[in-house]
Amino acid sequence: MENNILNNISSGIQFNTRNLTVVSNCTIRKNLISNLGTSSGTGSAGGILIISEGTENAIITNFNVYNNTITSRIPGAPWVGIDFSSINNGSANNINIRNNIVTGFGEAWFKGGNNTNMTNVVVTHNDANGNANGDLPLFPGTGNYPTAIIFR
């Protein structure tokens, strides 16, 4: 998915996964996802999201996110810019998060889940500013980032 402008919406690019869904060989690049916001009701909101339909066991491989701009609307900013928190029982391998601008999110610009099993992940040269968690990625419950992730 590339060269898109998504403006004034709640969720930019979203993968809704079911039991053992495989998301493979995806590249998301050169998109402007701007003025993301929430209001009332249920649903998801954020820039680039992996959402579980109840199983949290998707298998993500060869997933590239680079050269995107993802911004929120304040007030009403969504919680996360790039969200991998719905794969606690699944896995993510060969993930590249590079050269993105992610601003204004209420929990973190990049998030994994409590038990997110991620290997061969490179997160580099991203401009995260105005986000919660001190503009750092968030992996709640682990106390530390997974060792397979390289931050530059």
Q: Give residue-wise pLDDT tens across range 75-128.
A: 888 999 999 888 888 888 999 999 999 999 999 999 987 776 788 889 999 999
Question: E strand or H helix at 12, and its extent?
Answer: strand 11-17
What is the C-alpha end-to-end distance of the chain, expressed in Å?
A: 25
Strand order in the sheet with 108-112: 11-17, 46-52, 80-84, 108-112
Peptide bond into 75 cis (omega under 30): yes
Per-residue tokens: 95: 């993930």
| For the chain, domain boundaries | 5-151
- Pairing mode, strands 32-36 and 101-103: unpaired
Question: Rounded mean pLDDT of the chain?
Answer: 87
Per-residue tokens: 20: 């053992």
Q: Are 39 and 73 in contact (CB under 8 A)?
A: no
pTM to 2 decimals? 0.90
Residue 3 has a CB neighbour count (10 Å cut-off) of 8
Top pLDDT among 26 and 41 is at: 26
